[in-house]
Amino acid sequence: MFSRLFPKQIDNTYKGYALAIWLLVPLVLVKLLMGLNVAGFNPWISNRYIAQSVDRIPLDTFSAEAASTVMFMFAAWGLALFVLSLLGVVVLIRYRAMIPLMYLLLAIEQFGRRGILTISPIERAVEIQGITDALLINWGLMAALAIGFALSLATPAKAARTNVA
């Protein structure tokens, strides 16, 4: 397993299931678009709108300084996500041996944020009722990352028979 996560040579040789590659493509694209939007690089949608509508951050109730600080941290996270996603694009195009490691990095970011939220929950003046769009997206991404990571580490049956013979 460690040799799959940290290959001795980083090239385009990939030994996991092909489905993991095809699953990584939309995951990287979704994360890339999320990073683009949250960082404020999208000229058609403001990151403030995303923070208020999708993530339901009540910026209008904050002081100007607090809202500015929250938006800076939101944009900084978006930039980090954008750069991580660009690395995913490079992995998909040129360095497929890194696909399991890319899944691991994306999962650490995704599950890590969920863990931080569990440890330090956000206190809200008005409790959000029901399931939000952001929650559905995040749970879907977490499930897809877990499945893709497992598929990228597993050896397809045909390849396992070829290696034994």
Query: Is 162 inside any structural domain?
Result: no
Cα–Cα distance measured from residue 54 to residue 133, given in angstroms and rounded to the nearest whole number: 6
Whole domain around residue 95: which residue ranges? 20-120+129-156
Tens-place pLDDT, residues 143-152: 999 999 999 9
110-122: per-residue pLDDT in tens? 999 989 988 988 7
- Confidence band for 165, pLDDT divided at 50, 70 and 90: very low
Q: How high is the pLDDT of residue 41?
A: 94
Total number of domains constituting the chain: 1
Q: What is the pTM of this model?
A: 0.86
Let me know if residue 36 belongs to a domain: yes
Are 149 and 105 contacting, i.e. CB atoms less than 8 angstroms apart? no
Which ranges of the chain would DSSP assign to H, the alpha helix? 2-5, 18-39, 47-53, 64-93, 99-119, 133-153, 157-164
In a domain, 84, yes or no: yes
pLDDT for res 159: 62
Tell me, yes or no, whether 11 lies in a domain.
no
3-state secondary structure of 133: helix
Within-domain flag for 32 = yes
157 pLDDT above the threshold of 90? no
Interval 78-82 mean pLDDT:
96
Residue 9 resides in a domain: no
Q: Is residue 3 part of a domain?
A: no
Q: How far is the C-alpha of 153 from the C-alpha of 3, rounded, in Å?
A: 10
Residue 13 belongs to a domain: no
Percent of the chain residues topping a pLDDT of 70: 92
Q: What's the confidence (pLDDT) of residue 131?
A: 73
* Residue 4 · residue 16 · CB < 8 Å: yes
DSSP assignment of 57-104: --GGGS-HHHHHHHHHHHHHHHHHHHHHHHHHHHHHHT-GGGHHHHHH
| pLDDT 10s digits, 4-22 | 888 888 899 999 999 999 9
Instruction: Work out the angle between the directed axes of helices 99-119 and 64-93 (0-180°, nearest 10).
Output: 160
